[in-house]
Amino acid sequence: MKKSIFILSIIFSFKAFAEIASGDDCGKNCRWSISDEGTLTVWAGDDNGGKGSIGKYKFTSDKTSTTAPWGAYKDDIKNIDIQEGITDLGKHAFARISSTNPVILPESITSISNTGLGYIRAPEIVIPNSVTSIESSAFAWTSTCKVDIPSSVTQIGSYAFRGTGMTDMVIPDTVLSIADAAFSAPKNLKSLVIGENTSVGNIFYYNNEIPDLSNLKMFCSASNVTSCADALRAVGVTDENIANTLKTYSKDANGFYQIDDSLYANATLMAHGAACDDAANCQAILDAASQGEPFMVGGKYYATIDLFANRAACTSLKNCEDMLQAASQNAPFKVGSKIYHSLEDFANGDYDKKRIYTIDEANFVSGKKNSVTIRYK
């Protein structure tokens, strides 16, 4: 009996620590491994007070990956886990590497070097509050859809977001300057909110390129709206189109964003045109959202700020509550007669019109009033 237990323990241990590759050659006091499930983990070794940095690398000769040690395994990587203790992301560290999940940077990160995360393919990158500077080309040509810039950042370098796949970007008030070409060659940029303290250069201009800004809405405060307009003119946007593209905002006594007579609880909601009823309602939205609770605007209930930004209203307060509970359990929920499988699907209006239902799903969808046809093969 003891022998059997010993053998099983060995098998379990091997499975838990199975790796595709690993090493200690990724920079100063830097370790890495790729699990058999495709997670690239980078962490600091025991030296240097438990701090480490990822080194500087180049593109491979065919430009399809990075010469970092994990570059040879780019097709095996599904997730990227940069652990606490890593302080610097060197040049081209993750160039051309994919991730199917958001890349979350640890609080220990203080610097993202030139193209440190450039060309990466990931749905989202979360920057910690310890980062103060986003350097030249740091996110250039990433297919990332979302990058949240924390209020710790004060500088954004040239080409920092050149050619990215982001649709929305909010520059916090703490950012003092954005260098030339920082947003050149935008792919899908639809809204850009510039902080009221931010000095703006020719942020769209690069080597006489004329970017397509026809779908862009740009929001600047009265203090920098002139430089924002100049940035648009530098890439050929006419004064007539500038009037349609550029919106001037101010802030009321409570710090809420204001355009003409409309108030917005935060910059993201302003970019989406999702106005509050009044200042008290703006505060109620923020308070409810911070507690994960639904709120009402304009006589309609919304489960989250993101859903409000997308005008995805619940049918009632109870519907909002049921929706949030179901989403927390990764369960489907119903709004009206339609079934959704996530809050993101609901925000995008993504439901399956020709769905083949199981018996349980059919009962869930039909309820008391509706009916569904079930086909048997």
Phi, then psi, of 200 in degrees rounded to 5: -110, 130
For 76-131, the DSSP string reads G--EEEE-TTEEEE-TTTTTT-B-SS-EE--TT--EE-TTSSTT-B-SEEE--TT-
Predicted confidence band of residue 145 (pLDDT cuts 50, 70, 90): confident
Predicted pLDDT at 371 = 52
The residue among 376 and 26 whose pLDDT is bigger is: 26
**pLDDT exceeds cutoff 90 at 337:** no
Tens digit of each residue's pLDDT (9 = 90 or more) over 5-20: 444 444 443 434 578 9
Asked if residue 236 lies in contact with residue 210, where contact means CB atoms within 8 angstroms, the answer is yes
In this prediction the pTM is 0.84
Buried residues in 309-324 as b, exposed as e (16+ CB within 10 A): bbebbbeeeebbebbb
pLDDT value of residue 252: 95
- Higher-confidence position of 33 and 363: 33
Q: What is the pLDDT of residues 286-319, one digit of tens each?
A: 999 999 999 999 999 999 999 999 999 999 999 9
Residue 333 DSSP code: E
Q: So what's the pLDDT on residue 14?
A: 41
Rg (CA), the chain: 24
C-beta atoms surrounding 84 within 10 Å: 15
Mean pLDDT of 213-231: 96
